[in-house]
A = this chain, B = another copy of it.
């Protein structure tokens, strides 16, 4: 059975402001110093999925930019443009419909476009296993990340660790982002993995899940499917898609489905959710700093300093994030990187839309 890659790239991205903007979300940033996150995501599928079989699902406002940014990596018609952001269930349902209507059943690898993976070789082996398991079992296969610290920013998957079959485990249940105390318990128990948002399944299998668990969405998808390959395709998508109920695939299907399997991933993973997450991507210098661009430091420790255009200089700083871009500078206590979105909100409130 053929395997297709679906890279979900619809995110807006305010948490890397001022580098990320409304029209330049995180997946289009080069945070590793190597390439744009979406291109790194595409490129590490090499060996598992043909380039011609990779799709990117993005918002219509970003579709043109995505075609440019991916620079010939994927076929233009494989950039699927959502007419409206309707959360991940809609997006994945649309992708499954596209496959079933235009290519026939196949394995779908659904991957976030803006995550970091350290060990590509291990990652590729896990993806290959997941594809095989999805084909052999007709299950919903997901990849859970072996936790390395009591993260409160990730959802968790409770799995039957003791009962390993082949390379996979049964999933007991998905759980929401915990508080610190609960996260510590999860870590200690060894019974939990981080929910990475990577899913592998047959298009036909996930469509049956929509029918059973999200019938309202399923009806919408059927209407869209019926119009596909006709001259009305675009018109129907533009009409139906914006009214598909907004729900995440986790909440709508994963947490409620029966046949969910998980593979362990230990390849060094981060969802790169805020500036302080760069600490997972870069080696620190001898003072504990992570630096990008031209800079001079005096007595500066454990900082993250990103200089895009200008020289950035620091004196006597500890645990501070400094980000400099064409039109804005951010200086932020490293422990408060989560609050960058408050700046974006403040900019909205005071109508400084040119910075959004």
A interface with B by C-beta (< 8 Å): 18, 294, 296, 298-299, 307, 310-317, 320, 322, 324, 326-333, 335-336, 339-340, 342-343, 346-347, 350, 352, 355
Contact = CB atoms under 8 A, between A and B. Distances in A.
A309 to B, nearest CB: 8
B320 A331 contact: yes
B333 A329 contact: no
A355 B329 CA distance: 19
A312 B296 contact: no
Nearest to A342: B298
A329 B311 contact: yes
Contacts of A350: 296
Contacts of A355: 311
A202 to B, nearest CB: 45
Given A339-B298, A347-B296, A333 B316 contact: yes
Copies of this chain, complex-wide, total: 2
Contact of A313 (B294, B311, B313, B328): B328
A316 B298 contact: no
B310 A328 contact: yes
A347 B312 CA distance: 11
Contact of A346 (B298, B317, B332, B339): B298
Contact of A311 (B307, B312, B328, B339): B328
B307 A329 contact: yes
A317 B330 CA distance: 11
A208 to B, nearest CB: 47
Listed from nearest, the 5 A-B pairs whose CB atoms lie closest are: A316-B333, A315-B332, A316-B336, A311-B328, A312-B329
B329 A324 contact: yes
5 contacts: A296-B343, A310-B329, A311-B328, A315-B331, A317-B320
* Most chain B CB within a 10 A radius of its CB, from A294, A298, A330, A339: A298
B331 A331 contact: yes
A250 to B, nearest CB: 29
Contacts of A316: 332-333, 335-336, 339
User: A311, A312, A342 — which one has the most chain B CB atoms within 10 A of its CB?
Assistant: A311
A313 B296 contact: no
A183 B316 CA distance: 26
A89 to B, nearest CB: 33
B335 A312 contact: no
Contacts of A294: 352
A332 B314 contact: yes
